[in-house]
Structure 1
C-alpha cells in the first residue's frame, strides 16, 4: 500500500477513485457535473486544508486546496503524505466532517472569505 493511501479511510479513497473513473464532462462544458466532495484533509497545527472530490489510482486528487488562498485544482497526495510536521504530526483526515453541498459551493464560500 502506498503511503498516500493512508491519508484517509479506505471507503473515502474508494469513492474518490470511483468519482475520477466516471466519465465526467470537463468543467465549463455542456453536461458537466458538480461532484460532492468526499474527504477533508487538514494540517492539525497550521495552514492547509484540502477538500477533495476525486482521485486517480496514482494519487493525483482534485478539489479545493487552501494553503493560505483557496484554489480549485490538483494536489499530489504522495506529497501530502510525505509532510512531517512538528511533534511527529502529519496531514490528517477530518473524521467529523460530512459534505453538505457540491464542491463549487465550497469554493464559493472560500472565495467569499468563509472557512472551508
Structure 2
C-alpha cells in the first residue's frame, strides 16, 4: 500500500511550512497484526521525516519524529507491512490527541473518545 497519496503529502508539507504548529493529524498508520499506531501532522522537506505521535503499546504515547521510509519498510508478519487508515479523518488538533491518548492509554482508545466527541459536536 502507498502510505501517502500526493494529496496527503501536500497537506503534510503545507503543515510543516505553517509556523502555528498545532495541526490536525493528516494520516493515521497502523500495524494490521498488532501494536503500533502513528498519527502524522507534518512532513519535512526531506520527504521522509514525519512529525506526530506514535503508540507502540508501551504504556505511553510518544510525540516526535518518525521515518516514512522505516514505516514503509516494516515487516509486521505474514508478509504484511504498516498500512494507512484510508477512512481516518479528524477535527481535533494534535494537542488534543496527545492529551486524550495520555489519559486513555493510547491512540486507539483516544480515537474512540474523539470520534464520540466529534459526533456529539
Q: Tell me how far 1:9 sits from its aligned partner.
A: 1.9
Q: Please, which runs of 5 or more residues in structure 1 have no aligned partner?
A: 1-5, 25-31
Q: Tell me how far 1:96 sits from its aligned partner.
A: 1.1
Superposed CA RMSD in Å reads 1.7
**Residue 33 to residue 85, structure 1, CA distance change in 2 (3 Å):** closer
Q: Tell me how far 1:37 sits from its aligned partner.
A: 1.1
Give every structure 1 segment of 4 or more consecutive aligned residues whose post-TM-superposition deviation is greater than 2 Å. Answer: none
Q: Which of 22, 27, 46 is the matching residue for 1:34?
A: 22
Query: 2:17 maps to which residue?
Result: 21
Q: Tell me how far 1:10 sits from its aligned partner.
A: 1.8
Query: 1:56 maps to which residue?
Result: 44
Q: How many residues align?
A: 104
Q: Tell me how far 1:34 sits from its aligned partner.
A: 1.2
Compute the TM-score of the two structures, normalised by the length of structure 2: 0.78
Q: Which of 72, 75, 95 is the matching residue for 1:84?
A: 75
Structure 1 residue 74 corresponds to structure 2 residue 62: no
Q: Give the Cα separation in 2 of the matches to 1:100 and 1:49.
A: 18
Q: Which of 4, 10, 18 is the matching residue for 1:8?
A: 4
